[in-house]
Amino acid sequence: MNKVVFLVSGGGGSLKFVYYALQTLKMNVQVIGVIADRDCAALEFASKKNIYSKKIKYNLNHTVELQQELKKLAPDVVVTNIHKIIDIETLSQFPDRFINLHYSLLPAFGGVIGMETIVQAKMQNVGFIGGTCHMVNEEVDAGKILYQSCFSVNWEKDESVIDTVFKSSCLALLGGIFSVSGIVTNQNEQLVINEKNVLFSPPLPFSAGFISDEFWQQIAN
């Protein structure tokens, strides 16, 4: 079994997506731990689902607890949704296992946090937007790109840009998890999300037929 650990600080939307998607797809991948640097909704979700969860102190000057937890859990993939930069020593102890989800088409808007990327994209009137799942290295948002989602945007008419970016980015993150885990299954090159044709590069390594309004609703709850 390929083991996934999430490092979290916030609401846990992408954590919920990955958890429910893996349950539905019944692949040999499982979320086995959630580690937070503060009390947050993501930590509460893990507790409700009986996933191992732990709140720790973590910053660039206090790295021991995180390293201890990761050594104990021995994950194959670590998703860095935590609102902190991961220190080089921790990255080196678990090489090629840390991945991150960024709400832009990197390298555009690298270093910008959360959905602020969309605010900046709108200010610059970009024509295409999406999400990027990438490896984590010592330089912020500069690791090897694993998956990207992309769709066209009309800022005057489109009312669901944030939602479409989030949903397509979750799929890119799941593709990244599968990529690091060495799993390849059925492939879908394009999906329709909020009436937008969304492209993925490379093609998604799983069938996304399980995606429905009901599926997204359980993540919103």
Domain ranges in the chain are 2-220
Mean pLDDT value across residues 87-92: 96
% the chain with pLDDT above 90:
80
- Name the token pair of 75: 């994950």
Kindly calculate the radius of gyration of the chain based on its CA atoms and give it in whole angstroms: 17
Q: Are 179 and 97 in contact (CB under 8 A)?
A: no
pLDDT for res 182: 86
Whether 74 has a pLDDT exceeding 70, the answer reads: yes
Whether 104 has a pLDDT exceeding 90, the answer reads: yes
Residue whose token pair is 């840009």: 161
Cα–Cα distance, 178 to 194 (Å, whole number): 25
List pLDDT tens digits, range 1-36.
Answer: 899 999 999 999 999 999 999 999 888 899 999 999
Q: Residue 77 contacts by C-beta under 8 Å, 6 or more apart in sequence?
A: 2, 3, 4, 5, 97, 99, 177, 180, 181
State which CATH number among 2.60.120.380, 3.30.565.10, 3.40.50.170, 3.40.50.150 fits the domain covering 2-220: 3.40.50.170
User: What is the Cα 79 distance to its own chain's centre?
Assistant: 6
Q: Which residue did the predictor score with more confidence, 207 or 77?
A: 77
Whether 77 has a pLDDT exceeding 70, the answer reads: yes
Q: How many CA atoms lie within 13 A of 29 on its CB side?
A: 26
Strand 128-135 and strand 98-102: the pairing is antiparallel
pLDDT for res 189: 60
**Secondary structure (3-state) at 4:** strand
List pLDDT tens digits, range 189-201.
Answer: 678 899 999 999 9
Q: Which band of pLDDT confidence, cut at 50, 70 and 90, is reported for residue 186?
A: low
- Name the token pair of 125: 């009137």
Whether 187 has a pLDDT exceeding 80, the answer reads: no
Q: Are 106 and 132 in contact (CB under 8 A)?
A: yes
% the chain with pLDDT above 70:
97
